[in-house]
Structure 1
Amino acid sequence: MRVIVTGGAGFIGSAVIRAIISDTDFEVLNLDCLTYAGNPDSLASIAGNDRYHFSRTDIRDMSAVREAVEGFRPDLIMHLAAETHVDRSIDGPADFILTNVVGTANLLEAARAYWAGLDKDAKTRFRFHHVSTDEVFGSLGSEGQFSETTPYAPNSPYSASKAGSDHLARAWYETYGLPVVTSNCSNNYGPCQFPEKLIPLIILNALEGKKLPVYGTGENVRDWLHVEDHARALIAIATRGRPGETYCVGGNEERKNIDVVRTVCAILDELAPDSPHRPHSGLITFVTDRPGHDARYAIDASKIERELGWRPRESFESGIRKTVEWYLDNRSWWERVRAGAYRGERLGLAGAV
């Protein structure tokens, strides 16, 4: 099987490519334009594999997307390329609309044109997998979970742009018959995550003795999913999911943000006993909340478990320890990021009141 993965140098995309190369015999083309969040270092372990190929392609460039699709002739497109950082979407929403909405439309159109020219058997085999987020559903109260039938109610420019892309994917299935499958996941964490996100930001700030910023009172709840579990889920959905269907993927590991931060601090206290900043919890600092910050996310992942047999292998306790260990063992990876694309500054306060 020949697979195009868009955004394959990003956090989740690189985990998907590593899993494809290690667990299957598929050939992969990574389409990534290498923005601040795209990091070829995350693919170092498989970069020399003869089944891995890379094209520096911007999905906002329709002609480049068409050329890549027609040239590689995939059996499957896994679309993960996106602007994903909520705080950045508050400061600059235009990039999110262009990449997440226009870029997705470009990919769908390129895929449709390619698919229309395939023979009958190849048409039947082809899939377009659109990868999205649970944030399109908005915010939950103290009870309940998101499912595949939850109405959309996005609250940030990021989640609105992803909701728009989800609707495009559905429309290309319903209108043109393009065999599209969609997935919506909960919060990911694990190796190679860009350090603007909560867990790597807390780990790295703690190691450097910087403040550990917690939005509001830290009571916001997220369902945490280890990225390698998510990668396995995405491959299952892409290869065995039913066209026209949506699959929600979650870890069933709800935690308050403040509890996540305290857990990371406790693990660092244990694993970095020589740190001059112990106890690291003393660095916790509550800061102005993000505008429109959703209170709680939780995923009902029973459909993917029932239909595709997927379950997470990592508990939050096992996954977060492995994650902290990875950052401790891979200082060169994150030091290069901190020296260039992101230095730990606070984003997303534009328009705050």
Structure 2
Amino acid sequence: MTYSKDSVLARYARWDGVGLPFAVVEQPVSRLPGPGELLVRVDMATVCGSDLHTVTGRRSSPAPSVLGHEQVGTVVGVGEGGVACVDGTPVVPGMRVVWSVTSSCGSCDRCARGLSQKCRRVRKYGHEPLRVDAPLTGGFASHCVVLPGTAVVAVPAGVPDVVASPASCATATVAAALAAAGPLEGRRVLVTGAGMLGLTAVAMAAAEGAGVIAADPDPARREQALAFGADRVLDGSAPDAEVDVALEFSGQSSAVQVCLDSLDVGGTAVLVGSVAPGEPVGVDPERVVRGLHTVVGVHNYRPADLQRAVDFLAAHHHLFPFAGLVEGRYALGEVGAAFEAARRGGAPRQAVEPGHSLPV
């Protein structure tokens, strides 16, 4: 692999569709990205559940494409005009960063309302159709071009790649869910689904001083939830007492029902996992009205949520076993094997290191 002063030879894993193998493609790209853009070397990318659903056909996504939207990397180039992190820090070459799942225009009506994650012209990393002239749009590549309108957060040196990589999807989504729930100190919180997001939610809620109940039918996941700060675990049945906040991450209609039915007066249910059609659930309007209940949906997240996610991991990753949620150190040419490992189960995330050994 050769580099020049003005370019790098990038590599990406092209996904051609359900049932087809990944193909690794090499392509030279400019070391200097366009105005307001970044060129980032991807040090680690993790296989998210939605990536797995795409590859197995459970989720519709354009093909060919470059998948991957959970990653951490090192800045190689900064485009004209510069780029600032969410906290205002200028981005410079050599900085270790994570970036948001979405880039937004900043000018449409949704962006103006603070809903940039649902921008009218949103672009999503790992979800875009492949353009041969601009292929670096996903995490399963040696490099990614980070577009204007993308939230960027610097990662402290003490946070390992295996902890930082999921921040740009799993951790930030949980941060958005907790923001929707409001302050949690002293509140009773139910978390349904103890996968990557649910375990993260248990830890974040416990760190805020909540009393946390985690529900999952898998005994191993229930055991993990205790290690992440849950006070009690359930097999998926309703708790024996009502809760102030119910956070739903499994996407199962039965779990949504448990969340809605478990709310105390003034309670809030935050639904996150239901990103695909499912069985309808029953809502008693009188109970919602008399109980002063709030039901909120969370999809994607805002820039502040990504900052909150990284801040939480930096402050607490040594208190909870986040590093143990990620397995594997697959090379870019082994992306298919990483997906096979994810399909078999085990740890919630499998890791690919597409550019870790490359020079900055």
Check whether TM > 0.5: no
Give the TM-score normalised by the residue count of structure 1: 0.28
Bigger share in helix: 1
Bigger share in strand: 2
Give the TM-score normalised by the residue count of structure 2: 0.28
